[in-house]
Structure 1
Amino acid sequence: MSAVELQQGRQPAKRSFNKFVNNPVMEDYALRYAPRSFRKWSEFAVANSALGGIAYMADFAIGGSIALSFGFTNSLWAILVVAAIIFLTGIPIAYYSAKYNIDMDLLTRGAGFGYYGSTLTSLVYASFTFIYFALEGSVMAQALYQYFHIPLAIGYLICSLVVIPLVMYGMTALSKLQLITQPIWLLLMIGPFIAIAVKDPAAFSAWTHFGGSSASGSAFNTIEFGLAMGVTLSLIAQIGEQVDYLRFMPDKTPVNRAKWWWAVLLAGPGWVILGALKQLGGSFLASYITPIVGAANADEPIRMYTHAIAAAVGNPFAALSIATFFVLLSQIKINVTNAYSGSLSWSNFFSRIFHAHPGRVVWLFLNVAIALALMEGGVFGFLNTVLGFYSNVAVAWIGAIVSDLVINKSILKISPSYIEYKRGHLYNFNPVGFGSMIIASGISIAAFFNAFGPFLQAYSALLSIVLAFVLTPIIALLTKGKYYIAREPEPLHIVARHTSAHHEHGAGHGHHAPVYRTAVCVSCGYEYEQEDILHCPFHDGPICSLCCSLESQCHDVCKLPAASDDPARSVHAARG
């Protein structure tokens, strides 16, 4: 109860949530710290779920597309160099997310962007999910067209709607889906390459001499190498989808330390190892089928695998049937992840802008609808251009976060050692990450449109990540870290208890839970673990992070100088 309401002798209005938000299995703790009472999965289960999403076929399409455009050598080196960049930048992001059990948006807030500053990155991340949903859906629709002769426009709709029921139930359903389908998918992915190696080993030698439409043939070309890097660097934002699963990792203890680290590294930055291999596979298959289907269609994964599987089974219809099953399975495995991560990102964005949260499931439909519009608009036909442009913004975001986590937190120690994501403790904008991203992406986009000549145009994405990485500690030093923490945490009335099977929002898993430190939110009345609670001067009590985000009447009174001296006076000031 707030100080004013105490004086007036009446109870504050309780916040209520609809059935989507009140169901943790559907809500999956969007916008929140993932509590221990919900994190019931093993290290292996979390890692397997995260890696299950790497089944996507866009890697094959991207590898084939850049090989067709820039030749074998340029595409090879672009894939390898970008894989190294993505792996290194993914390590700190995966570690901090798994350690603090928060998603990419909450991590971004506390890594130099501020509370409202990270709304921009929520849009960048949401864009990643629906762009790749559209690309993956296009690949799936191509398979439906090849096998069932379903028109692409209808295929796009089918491919969009089929994932919704699976994604509605979040990690609980997705972990089971990925576990069941993983062995089948691995066998179907690797098998055709083994068959070609046995029956037509000369194809691999021909691949190394494949020039596509490159002016330099299969030789190395500095400009074309840079352009190929720009396309593949767009995948750097994939780490966000990995940590959407890694936030459910169990706490790291002396007992599970080795397993915990292996799971985080393999399922976090480790995704790019398999991703790079698939891009190389796409490059090879594009060169393999170009003489058969022509360059215009050689980057379509359904055609790649139909002809590759034919080398193993001989029968063209059987090959098409197996390839269709493989593509459909792959696309369902990844597009559930794209849709899931998009729903989290949109939830974060709209909750801050409108102070309302109808539930993650509502934003799931929005994300799928945008992806469907892109598919109907023919986004697959502009693959290189779309991804090349997008990468300029995505790498600036990732570069700024990594620089803050590695340099500002660990080396300069200007940024707090922990990740603070709660609205009541953050400045709305932190120029360290937010400013670095704006400057870096602005300059790199100008370079992308040839403002600084052909060389920087080709390397605009690399320019973006370097600028963001360098500017982040410079701005932190100039501002002396002033804009990280708006106010320090205050003491709370914390209760240590055995959290029953009916934990937050009444969900039950029917198992005995250990002791957690909890507090009851003064706004919604639910009990939450300590990490998700802060003191609210406006309500004069503990409040959960989501209710803090959704509160529209407080005008950030907790960050006013008077708040720590006289809560009642601060509340009066906030209410005018």
Structure 2
Amino acid sequence: MKEENTSSRRKYNSLVSNPAVEDYSLRYVPKSFRKWSEFTVANSALGGIAYLADFAIGGSLVVTYGFTNAIWGIIIASIIIFSTGLPIAYYSAKHNIDMDLLTRGAGFGYLGSTITSIIYASFTFIYFSLEGSVMAQAISLYFGINIRIAYAIAALIIIPLVIYGMTFLSRLQLYTQPLWFILMLTPLIVILNKDPSSLSVWTSFDGEAKTIQFNPLLAGLAAGVVLSLIAQIGEQADYLRFMPEKSSRNSKKWWLFVILAGPGWIFLGMFKQIYATFLASNIVSTLGAVKATEPIYQFLFGYNLLFGLPIISLTIATLFILISQIKINVTNAYSGSLSWSNFFSRVFHVHPGRVMWVMFNVLIALTLMELGVFYELNFVLGFYSNVAIAWIGAVVADLIINKKLLKISPDYIEFKRGHLYKINPVGFVPMVLASVISIVAFFGLLGPIAQAFSPFISLAIAFLLTPVMAILTGGKYYIARKSDIVNEEHECVSCGFTYEKSDMLYCSYHKGSICSLCCTLERSCHESCKDGLKPFRLTR
């Protein structure tokens, strides 16, 4: 990028103008910035999957629903998460945009996707609070400090680590990955070797449900908790947008790493949840139901068998948890900052920089930690999954059915304000309806069967209604006007920086080419570029 010193031009603060810090948080990622290999991007994306909320979730499910229903719930939810994550990962990596920009062009419109920005931001701070609670439990136990002080430490140490975006995160995930895998798998190997009866304890554990028989209602409730993780694909997309260009030369490698780093995250997530059911079922009789859901005690069980000395076991277990939680919470804070940036820039036309929203997201998460959200895990995640899956279901339906099968939705992703209608009912209406109906079901107002399967109701309504809305509207609300940018690079008439074609559009207010961010932040134009335009059906 280059800048001209012109007083009439828009000026950004030093954080916003620094790509190493800002990471193109509201933009298409240009070719010049995508300097990482497919492996490096995938490794960075999978590094965040080190999180231990999976162990808390798996432990909570087995304690509540027993072995059989917990396992089936995890498997069913994992299949759905993989299936919905694949098209999102592909489009994000292909078009080099994050989940918010993808949602705008996949049936929601420019302002319609502000609601999904809040849904996604909620995912990042809810899981930050859960992961931070796990870290705080370890800090409190090891150092003997009050848990509330430990909460603050676990949250605030993340801020300086996440400021430098993808440049720093890629190195952090690369260097810590091997040690993390060793520390995670060691307890499992030790327990199976030294305590063969642990397998039978696990498979016969009936939990609070007092049954080892398959119960579809209990399995459905368990799956609903796991389905809250469906929005994790958004965090994967935040990394996948840095993928290099797909070509005939790298096609196989590109697909491999997009699948692994995109929907493939759930394979490791499913393994960790099942692993947690094994650990929790073996310690619940001695430590109780509450501690059985806390990862610090789950891993202490294995390390105590290995070392025999409590201080060594606790030190190793604490080290593992600190590494794990730093790896995931830098991702939660990073992705949350992207989402809040998108929301506030569109609604209020301000952009103080991604770093400001890192701190904002962390403070919300810290508040939830102090309120004890960890111990209401099943309810919070079960409720959240109804809304998250409605969003993802609508986006996936647009990408698969409306774009590929019906060919009503454009075959590219348009995210620029000047080219979009404020609200596209195709995805927006199904998401709202699916969320409302499934939440009503979640609270038991439609009966016990609907309550158990409320996330599935949400997915079905969103997925089926989205193509119906596309047919009814004829695709009129996808594109407000077509691009008239021809050259590969243009200088923005507002800020003076030069951007690639994909990030530019013509501005009738400024009488020249403008970048997507300056277009987003412009208050005075009142979207005059779209005055007098009537909805038109896309011709293919």
Q: Which residue of 2 aligns with 1:119?
A: 114
Q: Which residue of 2 aligns with 1:556?
A: 527
Q: Which residue of 2 aligns with 1:534?
A: 505
TM-score for the superposition, normalised by structure 2: 0.97
Q: Which residue of 1 aligns with 2:163?
A: 168
Distance 1:562 1:68, change over 3 A: closer
Letter in 2 for 1:396: A
* 1:296 counterpart SS class: helix
Matched, 1:74 2:45: no
Q: Which residue of 1 aligns with 2:41?
A: 46
* 1:542 counterpart SS class: strand
Q: Deviations over 1:130-159 (max 9, x none)?
A: 000000000000001111112111111111
Shift of 1:292: 1.9
Contact kept in structure 1, 2:485 and 2:504, CA below 8 Å: no
Letter in 2 for 1:548: C
Q: Which residue of 1 aligns with 2:389?
A: 395
Q: Which residue of 2 aligns with 1:445?
A: 439
Q: Deviations over 1:220-248 (max 9, x none)?
A: 11211111111010000000000100000
Matched, 1:283 2:277: yes
Letter in 1 for 2:158: V
Shift of 1:559: 1.0
Q: 2:150 pairs with 148, 155, 159, which one?
A: 155
User: C-alpha separation between the residues in 1 aligned to 2:289 and 2:464?
Assistant: 40
User: C-alpha separation between the residues in 2 aligned to 1:104 and 1:432?
Assistant: 17
Contact kept in structure 1, 2:507 and 2:514, CA below 8 Å: yes
User: C-alpha separation between the residues in 1 aligned to 2:326 and 2:145?
Assistant: 18
Letter in 1 for 2:25: A
User: C-alpha separation between the residues in 2 aligned to 1:437 and 1:225?
Assistant: 25
Q: Deviations over 1:339-389 (max 9, x none)?
A: 000000000000001111000000111000000000000001100000000
- Which of the pair has more CA radius of gyration? 1
Q: Deviations over 1:421-454 (max 9, x none)?
A: 0000000000011111000001000101111101
Point out where structure 2 has 5 or more consecutive residues left out of the alignment.
1-5, 535-540
- What is the identity percentage for the equivalent residue pairs of Structure 1 and Structure 2? 62
Q: Which residue of 2 aligns with 1:222?
A: 216
User: C-alpha separation between the residues in 2 aligned to 1:25 and 1:491?
Assistant: 27
Q: Deviations over 1:526-557 (max 9, x none)?
A: 00011100111111110000001001111111
Q: Which residue of 2 aligns with 1:480?
A: 474
Q: 2:423 pairs with 414, 418, 429, which one?
A: 429
Q: Deviations over 1:119-178 (max 9, x none)?
A: 000000000000000000000000011111121111111111111111100000000000
Q: 2:333 pairs with 329, 336, 339, which one?
A: 339
Shift of 1:12: 9.1
Q: Which residue of 2 aligns with 1:189?
A: 184
Shift of 1:204: 1.2
Shift of 1:562: 7.2
Letter in 1 for 2:237: V
Q: Deviations over 1:61-117 (max 9, x none)?
A: 000001000000000001011111000110000000000000000000000000000
Q: 2:261 pairs with 256, 263, 267, which one?
A: 267
Letter in 1 for 2:511: D
* 2:33 counterpart SS class: coil
1:342-491 equivalences under 5 Å are 342-491=336-485
Q: 1:105 pairs with 84, 100, 105, which one?
A: 100
User: C-alpha separation between the residues in 1 aligned to 2:29 and 2:472?
Assistant: 34
Q: Which residue of 1 aligns with 2:227?
A: 233
Contact kept in structure 1, 2:480 and 2:533, CA below 8 Å: no
Point out where structure 1 has 5 or more consecutive residues left out of the alignment.
1-10, 495-516, 564-576
Contact kept in structure 1, 2:437 and 2:458, CA below 8 Å: yes
Letter in 2 for 1:25: A
User: C-alpha separation between the residues in 2 aligned to 1:187 and 1:453?
Assistant: 46
* 1:519 counterpart SS class: strand
Distance 1:559 1:335, change over 3 A: same
1:122-141 equivalences under 5 Å are 122-141=117-136
Shift of 1:459: 0.6
User: C-alpha separation between the residues in 1 aligned to 2:445 and 2:9?
Assistant: 55
User: C-alpha separation between the residues in 1 aligned to 2:145 and 2:396?
Assistant: 44
User: C-alpha separation between the residues in 1 aligned to 2:228 and 2:237?
Assistant: 17
Shift of 1:13: 2.9
* 2:115 counterpart SS class: helix
Q: 1:213 pairs with 208, 216, 231, which one?
A: 208
User: C-alpha separation between the residues in 1 aligned to 2:78 and 2:465?
Assistant: 23
User: C-alpha separation between the residues in 1 aligned to 2:7 and 2:177?
Assistant: 50
Q: Which residue of 2 aligns with 1:524?
A: 495
User: C-alpha separation between the residues in 1 aligned to 2:213 and 2:201?
Assistant: 14
User: C-alpha separation between the residues in 1 aligned to 2:83 and 2:217?
Assistant: 24
Q: Which residue of 2 aligns with 1:501?
A: none
User: C-alpha separation between the residues in 1 aligned to 2:505 and 2:200?
Assistant: 62
Q: 1:29 pairs with 12, 24, 28, which one?
A: 24
How much is the aligned-residue C-alpha RMSD, in angstroms? 1.1
Matched, 1:303 2:274: no
User: C-alpha separation between the residues in 2 aligned to 1:542 and 1:532?
Assistant: 10
Contact kept in structure 1, 2:439 and 2:454, CA below 8 Å: yes
Q: Which residue of 1 aligns with 2:3?
A: none
User: C-alpha separation between the residues in 2 aligned to 1:41 and 1:311?
Assistant: 42
Q: Judge which range, 526-535 or 553-562, deviates more.
A: 553-562
Q: Which residue of 1 aligns with 2:537?
A: none
User: C-alpha separation between the residues in 2 aligned to 1:286 and 1:197?
Assistant: 14
Q: Judge which range, 311-320 or 195-204, deviates more.
A: 311-320
